[in-house]
Amino acid sequence: MSRTSLFITNLLLFILLSAACSVVQGQNRREIQDSVDIPLKIRAGIDVTGPAIWFAGKNILNAEGYISADINEKIALFVGTGYSDYKYSQYNYEYFSRGFFFKAGVDLNILQPEVSTGRYWAGVGIRYGLSSFTSGTPSFTHENYWGITSSSLESDKSWGHYVELSPGFRAELFKNFSIGWSLSLRKLLYPGTRSDIRPLWFPGYGSGGSVSAGVCYYLSWNIPYKKIRVAIKQEEPEEPPDEEDIQNQGINTNSQSLGGNRPATRFR
């Protein structure tokens, strides 16, 4: 499992770094201009991390997709949904948690328009997540002084919600096709049950602690629907010095030169 995940991570990072290098090279070749055309797009994407982890370990299945729409060159609306199926077992108990989750928020692009050009995105996403799931313990055993007890806990339906920050990067490798990655930093607001018996796994959130983190690699298909022209902020050129300043500078230079050639006074 670890080797497969490491291979996928290295491969996707190599592709993304290559795309980032092309951005820098394109920026160096770009002529100075006062505005740039930015295509606004609607995107539909899928996460490839969840299926890869399930294929390697087969105890966690996470399928997630999203749709986003650009409002302008800096802000895009985001809506995502998915399904999670988690199973865990060890010598004395079994546990499962499965259900659907929903996310909504915005994506903020920190790249300048002349760098992003509607093809590249680097920034942070802000999300609110809601999860509806069923969890239970089909069997467990407990051993103490009086012997071994075996029992089970009935499954229970619950819901909870959380907030998420997702910094990341996205690059358009081919026309209307992008690849990207994002980190997910999540804070649990309500676990769906009492805090002392919160679920071990929360669909869309991860491990049932107060905070959770994850990584996502995704493929996106883009549909341009509008083009806008965005002004580029130009650096103000330095003002040339006035003739009076040049003359004063020349006088000071001559004074220093004469002072440097003046013979020193000797005392006998």
Whether the model clears a pTM of 0.85, i.e. scores above it, the answer is: no
Q: What is the structure's pLDDT at 168?
A: 95
Q: Which of 171, 174, 182, 162 is nearest to 66 (CA)?
A: 182
Give ∠ CA 183-189-190 in degrees, rounded to 5: 125
Under-50 pLDDT residues of the chain: 1-7, 10-11, 14, 23-31, 255-268
Where in the sequence is the domain holding 157, given as residue range(s)? 2-231
Query: What CATH number is attached to the domain comprising 174?
Result: 2.40.160
Q: What is the structure's pLDDT at 161?
A: 92
Is 71 within a domain? yes
Other Cβ atoms closer than 10 A to 199: 24
77: exposed, middle or buried (C-beta count within 10 Å: 0-12, 13-18, 19+)? middle
Is 21 within a domain? yes
Is the Cα dihedral 250, 254, 255, 257 positive or negative?
A: positive
- The pLDDT tens digits of the residues spanning 77-136 come to 999 999 999 988 887 888 888 999 999 999 999 999 989 888 999 999 999 999 999 888
Is 254 within a domain? no
Is 79 within a domain? yes
Length of the chain in residues, anyone? 268
Is 261 within a domain? no
Is 205 within a domain? yes
> Could you give the number of structural domains in the chain?
1
Where are the alpha helices (H) located in the chain, listed in sequence order?
2-29, 49-57, 113-116, 243-261
Is 114 within a domain? yes
Q: What is the structure's pLDDT at 123?
A: 96
Is 260 within a domain? no
* Radius of gyration of the CA atoms of the chain, in A: 30
